[in-house]
Amino acid sequence: MISEPHTPVTIVGAGPVGLMLANLLAAYNVPVVVIERHHTTVQEPRAISIDDESLRALQIPELDAALKATCAMDYGSVYLGPDRQPFASVSPTSAEYGHPRRSAFAQPILEAMLAENLGKYPHAQIRFGEEVCAMEQNDESVQLTIQRHDGGQYVHTSQYVAACDGGRSPLRHMLGVGMHGNTYEKKWLIIDLKGTHDNFRQTRVYCDPRRPGINLPGPNRTRRFEFMLLEGETDEQVTDIDFVRRLLRDHGPDEHIEIVRKQVYTFHARMANEWQKGRVFLLGDAAHLTPPFAGQGLNSGLRDAANLSWKLAAVLQGRLPPKALGSYQAERPEHAWQLIEMAMTLGKIMMPGTLLKAKLIQAAFRALRWIPPANDYITQMRYKPKPRFTKGFFVADGADPRNTLVGRMVCQPILERPDRSLIRLDDLLGNDFALIACHTNPAQAFEGMPLLPFEQSLNLKRLCVTPRFYNPFPAAPGATHTVRDVSGEFERHCPGAQDIWLLVRPDRYVMACIPRKNGDQTVKQLNDLLQLV
């Protein structure tokens, strides 16, 4: 059996999460190999909703603009009662992280785009038609026994392995990692259409106990319906073409258009008991299974990739100690489970057990319209858990967890450079750590800054942001860039920023708030945490 030279990272599974992780690692200059048992990326419709955090992560491999050109951008939802009359709507207008809160995309397009983009990196490759059939690991490496489509086998050795191999995850089973959570009793029929005649661009949610369902618009005149199976209905019955056509007739003008896919699914709300075992990490559906009611399954997987990728890169390149990898398990599960809980809550609204429950839910939501803060909570999608960590790879500042900037994703405002050209925050920061100062006078932006012993090792970029009503004079002393907060977004989302320096990680989470007064203690804590080699 042939053995290969060591690879820094091997990814098992070339779905959207595996390919995203590969692109991020390649962008961070880490050699990577992707193993995929199928012969191509997915060709049929799968996930169809992408959020602002995922689009932001796609900025790192510079794919966000290309994907957005294929998306139906910025859409919301309308909730309909059994009488088909709207009783609630969700239509967020904010773009705190630089992109619309919710857009429709096509998973085959995203996967093809990610796979093609890997071709520009000489240190990245995808091996289709190969399957992992055994795995062993020790303190130094992971050995994968891989079977090719022709039946031949070889041994592939890596420093780290990422299991992105789906909900049934063979690697998770090889590791002996169990899952906890629930499986929904009711099955759902998924119908994907091409060439819709319905030009309504919001999602319709049918909160009808007689047949709960969802009607989702997609890009390029595609449309998806999801209907709950009723008691006694079989998979064969509901996928019969006449049955499907009747459902379509009752829900719009698309009874006779092309059906791309019709399939029955069982939904899950489950999570792996461990996300890291030795040198192997679980990501995406291998780590968590999310009901589709909030469109967060794929997005949670892309968050996993964004969180783990820069840590692997920094450890492999000797800029962080290996213990930093343990923060993946510390940070990601809590937020992922919050999104699972949100999806389950939305499912209860969508699936009222009786007409009485449906009417009570409608009445409650209609009453909220008269309470502006409560109405905004719904319409602006503020019920979605914020991207923040309560524990992990950062230095807490002792502030209330609900108000602190530490452990939270920093906003992404539009900024103005001294030549008056506009740029997004992340496009300035690139792929490294950043130190951000907010100051009216760029010349004083970094005055009094304690010595940062880790600055060179982290390749730290310094950025001065002037408030909205102050011009960005040429770069502040010691700063890489000076820019202006065009609309006041940075000040609004980072209150008190003029009293601190923000240390931001490559995944755009705030690692520390260094006080302008007495910042030495925070710097010492950071240095202890980083323990650079």
Which DSSP string do the residues of 42-104 spell out, in sequence order? --S----EEEHHHHHHTTTTT-HHHHHTTSB-S--EEEE-TTS-EEEEE-----TTSS-SEEE
Tell me how far apart the alpha carbons of residues 301 and 41 are, in angstroms, rounded to a whole number. 17
Do you know the residue count of the chain?
Answer: 533
* Architecture of the structural domain at 414-530: 3-Layer(aba) Sandwich (3.40)
Count CA within 13 A, CB hemisphere, residue 262. Answer: 16
Where does 369-487 have alpha helices with state H?
372-379, 425-429
H/E element, 339: helix 327-350
The structure tokens 């191509």 sit at: 40
Which pLDDT tens digit goes with each residue over 159-186?
999 999 999 999 999 999 999 999 988 8
Give the pLDDT mean for 220-231.
96
Is 396:513 a contact under the CB 8 Å cutoff? no
- The DSSP bridge partners found for residue 89 are 78
Helix, strand, coil share of the chain (percent; to 5):
30, 30, 40
| ∠ CA 30-32-33, rounded to 5° | 175
Find out whether 438 and 425 touch, Cβ atoms under 8 Å: no
| Domain residue spans of the chain | 2-73+103-178+272-339, 414-530
| Cα 272–chain centre separation | 18
- Give the pLDDT confidence of 263-297 residue by residue, as tens digits: 999 999 999 999 999 999 999 999 999 999 988 99
- pTM to 2 decimal places: 0.96
What's the mean per-residue pLDDT of the chain? 94
> Would you say residue 533 has pLDDT above 50?
no
The residue to which tokens 């967060």 are assigned: 296
- For the stretch 405-445, pLDDT in tens is 999 999 999 999 999 999 999 999 999 999 999 999 988 99
Q: Give CA torsion, residues 182, 187, 192, 196, to 10 deg.
A: -110
What is the pLDDT, as a whole number, of residue 381? 85
CATH number of 2-73+103-178+272-339: 3.50.50.60
**Confidence at residue 269, expressed as pLDDT on a 0 to 100 scale:** 95
Q: In this predicted model, what pLDDT tens digit does every residue of 126-155 receive, in sequence order?
A: 999 999 999 999 999 999 999 999 999 999
CA distance 174 to 143: 12
pLDDT score recorded for residue 1: 65
Strand-pair category, 153-163 with 7-12: parallel
Chain CA centroid to CA 421, Å: 29
Q: Two tokens at 310?
A: 């820069």
The CA-based dihedral angle spanning residues 448, 516, 505, 406, taken in that order and rounded to the nearest 10 degrees: 170
pLDDT confidence band for 305 (50 / 70 / 90)? very high
Chain centroid to CA 22: how far? 15
